[in-house]
Chain A
Amino acid sequence: MTFLHDGRRQIIAAVNASARGLGLHAGMPLAHARALIRELSVEPATLAQDASALAELAAWCLRFSPFTGADGPDGLWIDATGCTHLFGGEAQLLAHLVERLMGVGIAARAAIADTPGAAWAVARHAPDSLHVVPPGQTTDAIRLLSLAALRLPAELIEKLSRLGFDQIDQVIDAPRGPLTLRFGAELVRRLDQATGRLFEPLVPVLPPEIVAERLPFVEPISTAEAFVSVIATLARNVCEELERRSLGARQLDLVFERVDGSHQIIRVGAARPARDPRHLARMLDERIDQVDPGLGIDAMQLVVTLADPLNFTQGSASLLQDRPCDPDIAILVDRLVNRLGAGKVYRFAACESDVPERSVRRVAPLSPPTKASWPAGLPRPSRLLSPPQPIETLAMLPDQPPAMFIWRRVRHRIRRADGPERIQAEWWRNEREMRASRDYWQVEDQDGRRYWLYRSGDGVDPDTGDISWYLHGFF
């Protein structure tokens, strides 16, 4: 059993199994414990040594995953994404982990879940000591646990329990506005972290092969200008180290260590391995506004969490081009993705489908050129309405273009029309498309504007469509 001084009195810091059996628990005043049991053997707690031992243990856990971290005072994070198959599955990984720990005399409880928050909750509060939360069932898994499983401050838990809130179940579906108003943002933040609505970065223990640079400050800093200059220094040092190892950064974490001991992390990614300090610094600079410096930041650390080989390439020095041509779009793509988010920057690529809305797919902006385009000669509009909008028409069946159509209450008299271009549905997709078809017309109205209309069905067989007309695009 160990004890420490909490400022007012001596309290128990940790107990072993036999002491727990006697009814002692951490947080109890030492005098109280001594009064209960006469022959107590107590040692002063050594928090600094505990922390360094935990960090060592986290480094030892690197055998399970490249990304582990200490969660003081008594926990470890392992980001096992993509590593579990090496051990035969998630449950086997946990069993193996706990067994190994048992072998060195450490009793452990372990859980694996979609989010760090849920894993934390389940590991400490679920009845069984090994627990695997299946993917997608995070909310159900934590629903019946006590509120303490949300890593809330003790005062908040006490306040909630006074009002009758004991289980996560009672708050997880409650309206979030009143919850925040009544109990502060912390409750909702922790809930979101547990359910995965909010990304929670872990502070990793760093294996020596990871490039990282830390800069502690004499006095805490909190202004954006100061951050910018620190980022420039860190980026320069990191890039020098990357260059020595012929690596380029794919993902960077910038850790802001706050005065109050908490961490704020911003993460940026690069579409291609990058080693240009200005480029990396600029991407990080754009995210500074996401950081809440609180009372100040007293150290910053730049960690290259993902790196790929990047060899030297010679810049092209062409005598023929009068304009310095810089074909490296990757830097621009990184900046845009960094600003807009992934999925907002893309390229179009041809897809083998005749159905217009399926003939285009989006590919990653730096994917290799497909060289493929769409069949030339077929009229295709420059704007496509999605979904197609129903129009009223006057048209003769089965294969005459409409004489006029009404869209958005405006009447368009059709002067010229070209068609029909029959597009058969893809019968192999599902039952409904078995026989469906569309007849497309390119029409020009009295003002010369060109529209792309289609009639669902071939105009003869009702199985192919209901003969309603749609506007699908503009030329």
Chain B
Amino acid sequence: MQAIGSTIPPSLHELRSQVARLERATGRKALESVQLFGLPQIDRHLPGGGLSLGALHEVAGAGPDTEQAAVAALMVAGLVARMQGQVLWVTAQRDLFAPGLASVGLHPDRLLLSEAGKDVLLIMEEGLRHAGLAAVVGEVGGRLSLTASRRLQLAAEQSGVTAIALRRSRRHDDPIHAEPTAAVTRWRVQAIASPPPLAHAADTPGVGPPLWQLDLTRCRGGVPATWIVKACDAQGYLHLAADLADRPPASQQRLRIGGG
């Protein structure tokens, strides 16, 4: 597991893991293992020092991208690309474009697709019961009820397979995405205006690396936060945006820069 940053005293960490042990079901295989974002600022913010494996996480787009969840799909692909093993991606529509996912490091040989139509949750659970997978990504179109999400969470805990619910909706910023679920973390990711490709020559045509605003809107045992990051690179790693051309409004600026 990831070493905790020196800002958190060891006793606090001990207490946290005790609470985590109490909270979580017994017999869990991968209690403490986490998937690193590879970004100390984010990893340090998350309880456990990274995205916990064998748990349910939610990722949604924002604004017009709530429908296509294109940025969210890229972020999830980058995340699972860095795990070991096969990934089951359960879809409801046929719009996933594999070359795009490959560009953030998710090789097509590792990606098992399953078109589930209305049975996305059912197929996700089926996949989560199979310990041979690295992760199960499900494109959840409608509501994700507390019961349904708890089933996924329990299945993920038992097998140690990470579950990611990629929330989509035809309605922009659908309020049902804010309803409570049993997910351990909930993320919202959206593209924001990117700086010019060459910082010293703002008039140069072309596009630079995309910028994403990554909101951790809910986190069990943690607090919400927002980061501005550069999109996944070819290995699926995020990078913190060093200099921002267009800073977000002050109300959104809860940028946490890791200390120490």
Contact = CB atoms under 8 A, between A and B. Distances in A.
Interface residues of B, number: 60
Interface in B54-113: 63-65, 68-71, 73-74, 77, 85-86, 88, 94-103, 107-109, 111-113
Contact of A340 (B109, B112, B114, B132): B114
* Count class of interface residues, chain A: 35 or more
B135 interface: no
B97 A449 contact: no
B40 interface: no
A417 B70 contact: no
B113 A475 contact: no
B102 A374 contact: yes
A381 interface: yes
Given A332-B88, A360-B99, 6 more contacts: A331-B130, A347-B111, A373-B108, A444-B210, A448-B190, A449-B64
16 contacts: A323-B160, A332-B127, A332-B130, A360-B98, A382-B70, A382-B101, A384-B96, A418-B205, A444-B191, A448-B191, A448-B211, A449-B191, A450-B207, A473-B70, A474-B68, A475-B71
Contact of B109 (A347, A381, A386, A442): A347
A416 interface: yes
B131 interface: yes
A348 B205 contact: no
A418 B198 CA distance: 13
A349 interface: yes
A21 interface: no
B191 A381 contact: no
A277 to B, nearest CB: 18
Interface string A333-349: 10110011000111111
A416 B207 contact: yes
A410 interface: yes
Nearest to B76: A382
Contact of B70 (A379, A383, A416, A447): A383
A29 interface: no
Contacts of A371: 109
Interface string A365-393: 10001110110101111111110000000
Contacts of A370: 108-109
B207 A356 contact: no
Contacts of B95: 383-386
A431 interface: no
A324 interface: yes
Contacts of A336: 114, 123, 126-127
B20 interface: no
B206 A416 contact: yes
Given A344-B116, A450-B210, A474-B65, A386 B94 contact: yes
B148 to A, nearest CB: 17
B114 A356 contact: no
A475 to B, nearest CB: 6
A329 B97 CA distance: 23
User: Secondary structure of the A side of the interface?
Assistant: mixed
Contacts of A331: 130
A415 interface: yes
Contacts of B96: 382-384
B182 interface: no
Interface string A102-125: 000000000000000000000000
A382 B207 contact: no
A148 B51 CA distance: 67
B165 interface: no
Contact of A327 (B63, B113, B132, B190): B132
Contacts of A327: 85, 132
A359 interface: yes
Interface string A230-245: 0000000000000000
A268 to B, nearest CB: 15
B132 A332 contact: yes
Contacts of A332: 88, 126-127, 130, 132-133
A383 B97 contact: yes
Interface string A413-426: 00111100000000
Nearest to B74: A382
